[in-house]
Amino acid sequence: MQRTKLISMIILTLLGSLFCLPCAGFTAQDQENPSLNELTQKAQQAYINGHYADAVALNLEIAEKYPTSKLRHYSVQMLGTLYENNIVDIKKAIKWDREYLEKYASPRQVPVYKEKLAALQKLMDQEQTFKMYQRIRFARESDEVKVRKFEALLKDHPDFSMKAEVERELGFAYARMDKRQESYLAFQALSKSTGKKLSSGDRQAYATASNYWQMTSFWGGLAWAVVAVLWVAALLMKPWRQLTVASIRKFLLWPVLWLVLAAAGMPTFYSLDNSGDSVIIHDTQVYIAAGLNLMILVWLLLLMKGTFWQTRPRALRWLSPALTLVMTTAVFYLFIINQQNGTEIIDYFTVKYRHWMVEWSLL
């Protein structure tokens, strides 16, 4: 029995070795050719450094000199990519993509390359516009510059067959710039261009841009309206009629105490380690928040001195905390959404709040 098992293991080992011989042969052949390895490394380095003309020349040399090398199919694939993205030449891109499809493409790559070839064929009559698109797309420039150039491209070439791709680039670029309204409008145009057949990533970005735009437009406008109404209401009650020298001193005492309290808390803030936090709060934001709190406190003191409350002390007792909460929420909502990536901060706090509520319900 032991001998039978031993013989079976030897046979399996030999068969496995036979299956590995072709791959090992290829690897050994490539490794034993220092010229090929040197060309491959130079081509990769040229591509990484952005020297695309050199990368094309080196990959062409590999494709022509080493037709049986395993490394050749990488060069063929890179030539298609370079001629499509960097040194735009649609005919050559089609040539090398077709060769890769016919000789090297895996079953999973076949539909991708067939779709790519069909798209390139449609661009034959728009090669110059396609060159402009790829030049903007792969330029090492800021999103602001790219957005300006993409907008000009759409304006000058409204019939560009890759209009949907330009709108997609605009949508994501505006999102990175935290311009949510423009991002939403770009994705809205994209949905019209593609007949609402958006990818899952596009749909998520579209929904995020739409949600953030609502935060800044509808909810932001509502917050501004609340702040304005509450200030007007406080001033219409003519609080200055109730102010005396003694009450003014008391009136000024509370803001001074608040500033002292805020200043006393700053050393604690500076001692906090927030290196691992997803939302970083800077000291300037803390100072602005303290100033906004001071403004809310002044509003509250004016509200409490209103003539309306003189005959309604119970209403003042019940309504002033609720109105202060509404004012504080509106002011700090406006403060947050006007910060860099403020809408993401709102989302972060919303998720945290829901998490706390779930934990509280489990207690």
Q: Do the domain assignments include residue 9?
A: no
What's the number of domains the chain is made of?
3
Q: Do the domain assignments include residue 174?
A: yes
Rounded (10°) CA dihedral 54, 58, 59, 65? 160
Domain final residue pick, 166, 187, 208: 208
Q: Do the domain assignments include residue 86?
A: yes
Q: Do the domain assignments include residue 24?
A: no
Q: In this structure, are 168 and 260 located in the same domain?
A: no
Q: In this structure, are 142 and 118 located in the same domain?
A: no
**C-alpha to C-alpha distance for 123 and 74, rounded to whole angstroms:** 25
Q: In this structure, are 283 and 358 located in the same domain?
A: yes
**C-alpha to C-alpha distance for 130 and 85, rounded to whole angstroms:** 9
Residue pLDDT, tens place only, 197-256: 667 777 777 777 777 777 777 888 899 999 999 999 988 988 888 777 777 777 777 777
Higher pLDDT: 297 or 11? It is 297
Q: Which domain holds residue 258?
A: 237-271+279-362
Q: Do the domain assignments include residue 264?
A: yes
Distances (CA, A) of 338 to 230, 252, 253: 21, 29, 31
Q: In this structure, are 37 and 104 located in the same domain?
A: yes
Q: In this structure, are 351 and 315 located in the same domain?
A: yes
Q: In this structure, are 110 and 193 located in the same domain?
A: no
* pLDDT > 90 fraction of the chain, expressed in percent and rounded: 26
Least confident of 236-240, 272-276, 295-299: 272-276
Distances (CA, A) of 188 to 170, 184, 185, 347: 11, 6, 5, 22
Q: 47 near 78, Cβ under 8 Å?
A: yes
- Does residue 349 have a pLDDT over 70? yes
DSSP state of 228: H
User: What pLDDT does 110 receive?
Assistant: 92
Residue pLDDT, tens place only, 146-195: 999 999 999 999 889 888 889 888 988 888 887 877 888 888 888 777 66
User: What pLDDT does 308 receive?
Assistant: 84
Q: In this structure, are 179 and 260 located in the same domain?
A: no
Least confident of 15-19, 80-84, 281-285, 343-347: 15-19
Q: In this structure, are 347 and 247 located in the same domain?
A: yes
Q: In this structure, are 98 and 36 located in the same domain?
A: yes
Rounded (10°) CA dihedral 267, 268, 273, 275? -70
Q: Do the domain assignments include residue 227?
A: no
Instruction: Give the SS3 label for residue 312.
Output: coil
Q: 363 near 356, Cβ under 8 Å?
A: no
List, in order, residues 6 or more apart from 234 with CB less than 8 Å away: 299, 302, 303, 306
Q: In this structure, are 254 and 318 located in the same domain?
A: yes
- Does residue 272 have a pLDDT over 90? no
Burial (CB < 10 A; 0-12, 13-18, 19+), residue 255, is middle
DSSP state of 195: T
Q: Do the domain assignments include residue 21?
A: no
Q: In this structure, are 118 and 141 located in the same domain?
A: no
Query: Residue 93 sits in a domain of what CATH number?
Result: 1.25.40.10
Instruction: Grade residue 22 by pLDDT with cuts at 50, 70 and 90.
Output: very low
Q: Do the domain assignments include residue 257?
A: yes
Long-range CB contact pairs, 49-52, < 8 A, 24+: 50/140, 52/82, 52/86, 52/87
Higher pLDDT: 260 or 103? It is 103
**C-alpha to C-alpha distance for 169 and 158, rounded to whole angstroms:** 16
Q: In this structure, are 112 and 37 located in the same domain?
A: yes
Domain final residue pick, 160, 193, 208: 208
